Chains A and B, each alone.
Chain A
Amino acid sequence: MKRILHIDDEADIREVLGAYLQCEGYEVVSVASPTEAFQAIQQAKPDLVICDLQLDESDGLQTIDRLRVMLPDVPAILLTGVLLDPHVAQATVQKRNLVYLEKTQPLQRILGEIRRLLA
Chain B
Amino acid sequence: MKGTTDPDPMKDITLSRILGFFGAIFAVVVTVAVVAVVNINRAGASRDWVNQTYATISAFEDILATARAGDTDTRMFALSGDDRDLTAAREAFGAMDEHLQIAEALTRHTPAVQAAVSEVAVLARQRVTLAEAVWQARRENQPERLRQLLADDAGSAAISTIKRRLEKLRDDQFALLREREQVAYRQAQTTRWVVGTGVAGNLVLFCAVGWLIRDDLRTRRRAALALEEANARLEEKVRIRTADLTEANRRLSAENLERKWAAQSQDHQLRYNQAIVKSVNDLVFVLTRTLTITRLNPAVLRATGREETDLLSQPLARVVSLPGTPDPALSALTRALAEGRDLPDVQVVIAGRPARLNLFPLRDRDKVVGGIAIAQLEPLPGPTHS
Across-interface contacts of A20 in B (CB, < 8 A): 254, 257-258, 261
Residues of A within 8 A of B262 (CB): 104, 106
Q: Does A17 contact B (CB under 8 A)?
A: yes
* Total residues of chain B contacting the partner, CB 8 A: 14
A16 within 8 A of B: yes
Q: Does B268 contact A (CB under 8 A)?
A: yes
Closest CB in chain B relative to A12 CB, distance in Å: 5
Chain A contact residue count (CB 8 A cutoff): 17
Instruction: Check A106 against B269 for contact (C-beta < 8 Å).
Output: no
Which A residues touch B265, using CB under 8 A? 81, 103-104
Q: Is the CB of B264 within 8 A of A12?
A: yes
Distance to closest chain B CB from A13 (angstroms): 6
Within 8 A of B (CB), among A17-53: 17, 19-20, 23-24
B250 within 8 A of A: yes
Q: Please report the C-alpha to C-alpha distance between residue A24 and residue B262 in the assembled complex, in whole angstroms.
A: 18
**Closest B-chain residue to A104, C-beta based?**
B265
When A16-B261, A106-B261, A107-B258 are in contact, do A82 and B272 touch as well, CB less than 8 Å? yes
Contact check, A16 vs B257: say whether CB atoms are below 8 A apart. Answer: yes
Q: Which residues of A contact B242 (CB under 8 A)?
A: none
Question: Which B residues lie within 8 Å of A108 (CB)?
Answer: 258
**Whole-angstrom distance between the Cβ of A87 and the nearest chain B Cβ:** 20
A104-B269, A108-B258 in contact; A19/B253 too (CB < 8 A)? yes
Closest chain B residue, CB of each to CB of A106: B258
Contact among B257, B268, B269 for A107, CB-based, below 8 A: B257
Closest CB of chain B to A27's CB: distance in Å?
17
B241 within 8 A of partner (CB): no
Is the C-beta of A119 less than 8 angstroms from some C-beta in chain B?
no
B268 touches A23 (CB 8 A): no
Task: Determine the distance from Cα of A1 to Cα of B60 in the docked complex, in whole angstroms.
Answer: 119
Bound Cα distance A82, B265 (Å): 10
| Contact between chains at A81 and B269 (CB < 8 Å) | yes
Question: Beta-carbon contacts of B242-286 to A below 8 Å, as 1s and 0s?
Answer: 000000001001100110111011101100100000000000000
Contact status A17-B261, CB under 8 Å: yes
Which A residues are in CB contact (< 8 Å) with B257?
16, 19-20, 23, 107
Q: What is the CA–CA distance of A63 and B266 in the complex, to the nearest angstrom? A: 25
> How far in angstroms is the closest Cβ of chain A from B140?
150
List residues 65-101 of chain A with CB under 8 A from any CB of chain B.
81-83
Instruction: State in angstroms the CA–CA spacing of A83 and B266 once bound together.
Output: 12
A23 to B256, CA, bound (A): 12
Neighbouring B residues of A83 by C-beta, 8 Å: 269
Q: Are B261 and A107 in contact (CB under 8 A)?
A: yes
List the B residue with the shortest CB-CB distance to A81. Answer: B268
Q: A74 to B367: give the CA distance in the assembly, Å.
A: 48
Indicate whether A13 sits within 8 Å of B269 (C-beta atoms), given known contacts A19-B253, A20-B254, A107-B254: no
Q: How far is the CB of A20 from chain B (nearest CB, A)?
A: 4
Q: Output the least CB separation between A92 and chain B (Å).
A: 19
Chain B, Cβ-Cβ closest to A20: B257
Q: Which chain B residue has the least Cβ–Cβ distance from A110?
A: B261
In the complex, what residue of chain B is closest to A111 when comparing beta carbons?
B254
Contacts of A16 in B (CB 8 A): 257, 260-261, 264
- Set of chain B residues within 8 Å of A19, measured between Cβ atoms: 253, 257
Residue of B nearest to A54 (CB): B272
CB <8 Å contact, A23 and B261: no
Q: Which residues from chain A contact B250 at a C-beta distance below 8 Å?
A: 23
Residue on A nearest B251 in the bound complex, by CB: A23
Instruction: Select the residue from B266, B268, B272 with max chain A CB neighbours within 10 A.
Output: B268
| Nearest-Cβ distance from residue B276 to partner chain A, whole angstroms | 10
Q: A10-B264, A17-B261 are in contact. List 20 more A-B contacts (CB 8 A).
A: A16-B257, A16-B264, A19-B253, A20-B254, A20-B257, A20-B258, A23-B250, A23-B254, A23-B257, A24-B254, A81-B265, A81-B272, A83-B269, A103-B261, A103-B265, A104-B265, A106-B258, A106-B261, A107-B258, A108-B258
Which residues from chain A sit less than 8 Å from chain B, CB to CB? 10, 12-13, 16-17, 19-20, 23-24, 81-83, 103-104, 106-108
17 pairs across A/B with beta carbons < 8 Å? A13-B264, A16-B257, A16-B260, A16-B261, A16-B264, A17-B261, A20-B254, A20-B258, A23-B257, A81-B265, A81-B268, A81-B269, A82-B272, A104-B262, A104-B266, A104-B269, A106-B258
- Chain B residues with a Cβ under 8 A of chain A: 250, 253-254, 257-258, 260-262, 264-266, 268-269, 272
